[in-house]
Chains A and B, each alone.
Chain A
Amino acid sequence: MWKSIDYNLCMKQPKVLKTRLKNGLTVVLKEVRVAPVVSWWVWYRVGSRYERPGVTGISHWVEHMMFKGTRAFPASVGDRMIARDGGFRNALTWIDWTAYFETMPAEKIDFALRLEADRMRRAIFPPKEVESERTVIIAERQMNENEPSFRLGEEVQAAAFRVHPYHHEVIGDMADLHTMTRDDLYGHYLNYYAPNNAIAVAVGDFDAREMLARIEALFGKYKAVDLPKPLARPEPEQRGERRLRVTGEGETAYLQIAYHAPSANDPDFFPMAVLDSILAGASSFNMFGGGGTSNRSSRLYRAVVQTGLAANVGGGLSPTVDPYLYTLYATVRAGKTPEIVEQAIEAEIDRVRTEPVSQAELDKAIKQAKAMFAYSAESVTNQGFWLGFTEILGDYRWFETYLPRLSAVTVADIQRVAQRYLSSNHRVVGVYVPEKAG
């Protein structure tokens, strides 16, 4: 049934088995025999970047509807069986993808395989449940809106992308949440939930060949479908700083500075990751379970937190299919202004653009990444996440070769990407100002 088997021999054990079924379903399997558990994921290449105005938020809403059951697996049965078996499950929707997972005791995982296979094409979307979920999702958006940093981030993202569909938040605009129909949702589901648009990932205590045979038996029955033409609307180069101001309740001011960043498959992504580590602290690879480092020795921490201007500072660089954003964010300390914090950050950006970082700083960033990488392998759920996520980017080996590619970064590379990407012409500066102060 499978066309090719590709054992990745360049990395340490355990091996990963990657193959593609005839119907286009990509399968990535990794045996990890440390604990009697399995994490099982199905990833779809659909997320908020696949949405047009009028149906923003539809990918996320479809994700919610996937928990409303199929004929064979009514909603209550799925929840009940997985909880009963001591597992946990969830789903995630992001700009580039939607993912579903169940992590369960190894001997119980077959139920999750059958459930995901069934709901790939057979979810029901009962009209009554669509309406009940509409208010749940509106409540979810209102929960986000309660946070000033969400409201600021939404405006910054929209200002950064005038053309590209990375423009809107995954949750969608309130206007669309009120007007989307059941047909819109079901149509989106049928368009994108298909074997040739999906990646199945399992990590844990199983025999890879048996697992592959089981996946083939369950998913092989679906035919590949004609996928909608991708929305190809690249963002034109930004030619001049954009600034915005959001006001609202509370007493705390926030600052976000977003620069256009390279995509995950751009070789510049790796020096950017090191630059982020030096400026704003090392990023953890742990979406599930602990394991990171603090951010109290980074350049920006010393510049704005240690000087008493901000209560915290951080940076965010995400691996994405198209170029996305590198965002610096700070919570302004009581009695200080966003402008002072911005000036201090700006001085650090200038420094990293004009002076090479030290070799010691580069070495530290690599060492930190090595530790983060070691921690990331400790939970099967986390490994399943990274294998699927990076397969969406093109190949799971993106993750497995991350360290060697990071280790190849030079001091000169870092200065070059700082000069190229951290230009004031390529950024959006947003501030949240409490009404009392504004």
Chain B
Amino acid sequence: MAKKSTPSLPGPETITRHELANGIVVLARENFSSPSVVIDADLRAGALWHGRDVAGLADFTGSALMRGTERLAFNEIYEQIESVGASLSVSAGTHTSGFYAKSLAEDLDLMLGLASDALRRPVFPEHEVERLRGEILTRLQITANDTRDRALEAFYELAYPGHPYSIVEEGYPETVKALTRQQLIDFHKTHFGPRGMVVVVVGAVPASQAVELVARHFGDWANPAQPDAPTLPALEPITGPRRTHVALPGKAQADIVLGVPGPARNHPQFLSARLANNILGVFGMGGRIGHQVREKNGLAYYAASNLSGGYGPGPWYAYAGVNPSNIEKAVGLMQREIKRFLARKVTPDEISDNKAQFIGRLPLGLETNEGVASTISSMELFDLGLDYLLRFPAMFNAITRDDILTAARTFLSAEDYVLATAGP
């Protein structure tokens, strides 16, 4: 019988944190229960650093980094990765870009070497840039025909007017067509650098060795031109309902997104809002919203709510996919649940069940290297502290029913909201 070894929650005692001279923070956690390793790395560059006129620039640049480097051509890069059954992807978001890799532990050096090449020494081969452009345009074409994507895109447009969050990260056909190779080169040169970079390594590698390997591949990276993160503009308050419908003829189902901008991860009410969202649209089969829309009325296969968090005021919305003839009925039920949520406190059972769920599922979320890496990454990126998981149960248990009501009332509203639908 295998020896019982229950790992403790990752904390300051079991996470190695080391800051390199160029500002890169390396965090490593050992796990020898399987022979693999995960790298989760973020750096401060993304769509926030460019305007709507070049929408898609950061995304295009991020994807192009793996298409050829000073040392290796596209085919050579992927032959190396796939020959060892590994994966390595580089991508750019709104606030951050980064890379993510999974491999056998013995290939950590190879993965970091390839990632370092991609981030520091890309060459943007002309034919690869054009090929990538074609792939992005095909993806945009598919997205344009997807009810969920279109409803969400329309929601962001109305919820964040004039704000960077209203811009689609992948861009629009007209902007992607117009981006030049030189713009990708310039964006990379200016914005990609070590300042604010966080690299998390979790797996069957001694922590000291993980730190040393990251230092070897990224320790001498410098980019004095790397700009500070732009400040997010103030949000225009939503007054009254804002509603839109995207017509997609030929579709069998319509999608609904109903919500508002929500709290950032560092907002003092974030955890209360997260607990509120769980009760409203997550717990069991989609919380109160799932219960009404799916279970009681049979209107949808999926009906739930989502709270994003993140660096800025990410959205808080309810969503569902329904038969087009049921849009109004489903929206009515979702609005009724939000109204009820704002009118009175959640029940003692609800708060106790939902707290138990969050605390009880900690071990499940930390079962895999991926789960641990993502948790450690959040602790560092959002300044939660390496003892966050150890403090979490007490912090979470201190939330009261009043806190939940206050958080809901701070962000949600029965009168001022955005409702976006897409369907035939």
**Contacts from A to B (Cβ < 8 Å):** 13-14, 31-37, 67, 75-76, 79-80, 83-88, 103-105, 108, 131-143, 145-146, 148, 205, 207-208, 248-252, 281-282, 289-297, 302, 305-306, 308, 311-312, 331-335, 364, 367-372, 374-375, 377-380, 435
Contacts and interface: CB of A to CB of B under 8 A. Distances in A.
A249 B145 contact: yes
Nearest to B130: A308
Nearest to B294: A136
Contact of A85 (B1, B6, B360): B360
Contacts of B141: 250-252, 334
B4 A289 contact: no
6 contacts: A75-B295, A80-B353, A136-B298, A146-B146, A252-B141, A369-B85
B135 interface: yes
A308 to B, nearest CB: 5
Interface string B12-51: 0000000000000000000001111010000000000000
Nearest to B85: A371
B84 interface: yes
Contacts of A31: 1-2
A292 B85 CA distance: 7
A367 B84 contact: yes
Contacts of A84: 353, 356-357, 360
Contact of B363 (A37, A137, A248, A282): A37
Interface centre among A31, A75, A379 (most CB of B within 10 A): A379
Nearest to B128: A306
Contacts of A305: 135
Contacts of A34: 5, 7, 33-34, 367
B370 A290 contact: yes
Contacts of B5: 33-34
A367 B104 CA distance: 11
A136 B301 contact: yes
B89 interface: yes
Nearest to A174: B252
Contact of B252 (A146, A292, A372): A146
Contacts of A136: 294, 298-301
Interface in B144-179: 144-147
Contact of B362 (A86, A104, A334, A372): A86
Contacts of A207: 1
B253 A289 contact: no
Contacts of B85: 282, 293, 367-372
A139 B300 CA distance: 6
A247 to B, nearest CB: 10
Contacts of A294: 78, 81-82, 87-89
Contact of A86 (B1, B3, B146, B361): B361
Given A139-B253, A291-B102, A379-B368, A132 B296 contact: yes
B36 A83 contact: no
Contacts of B225: none
A249 B248 CA distance: 8
Contacts of B234: none
A311 B139 contact: yes
B330 to A, nearest CB: 10
B142 interface: yes
B79 interface: yes
Interface string B349-385: 0000100111111111011111100000000000000
A252 B138 contact: yes
Which of A83, A364, A370, A380: most chain B Cβ within 10 A?
A83
Given A14-B1, A294-B89, A367-B83, 6 more contacts: A85-B356, A251-B141, A293-B81, A367-B85, A369-B85, A378-B369
B131 A308 contact: yes
A69 to B, nearest CB: 11
A265 to B, nearest CB: 26
B348 interface: no
Nearest to B286: A79
B323 A139 contact: yes
Contacts of B361: 86-88, 105
A86 B251 contact: no
Contact of A290 (B145, B353, B368): B368
B213 interface: no
B96 interface: no
B366 A35 contact: yes
A87 B253 contact: no
Interface residues on B, range: 35 or more
Closest A-B pairs by Cβ, 6 of them: A86-B360, A371-B85, A249-B250, A79-B284, A86-B361, A132-B298
Residue of B1, B103, B367, B371 contacting most chain A CB atoms (<10 Å): B367
A331 B142 contact: yes
B231 interface: no
B75 interface: yes
Contacts of B102: 290-291, 375
Contacts of A374: 34-36, 104
A134 B285 CA distance: 17
Contacts of B283: 83
B284 A80 contact: yes
B322 A139 contact: yes
Interface in B275-304: 283-285, 294-302
Contacts of B296: 132
Contact of B251 (A35, A208, A249, A289): A249
Contacts of A37: 363-364, 367
Contacts of B35: 374
B131 A132 contact: no
B233 interface: no
A4 B246 CA distance: 62
Contact of A142 (B135, B138, B252, B369): B252
A334 B134 contact: yes
B321 interface: yes
B87 A292 contact: yes
A108 B360 contact: yes
Contacts of B103: 371
B200 to A, nearest CB: 14
A195 B363 CA distance: 32
A406 B142 CA distance: 37
Contacts of A375: 34, 36, 102
B137 interface: yes
A192 B2 CA distance: 36
A143 B301 contact: yes
B253 A379 contact: no
A35 B363 contact: yes
B86 interface: yes
Nearest to A312: B135
A311 B145 contact: no
Nearest to B3: A33
A216 B400 CA distance: 43
A217 B123 CA distance: 65
Contacts of B3: 33
Nearest to A296: B78
Nearest to B284: A79
Contacts of B297: 132
Contact of B135 (A75, A250, A302, A311): A311
Contacts of A76: 284
B2 A32 contact: yes
A80 B39 CA distance: 35
B15 to A, nearest CB: 17
A335 B133 CA distance: 13
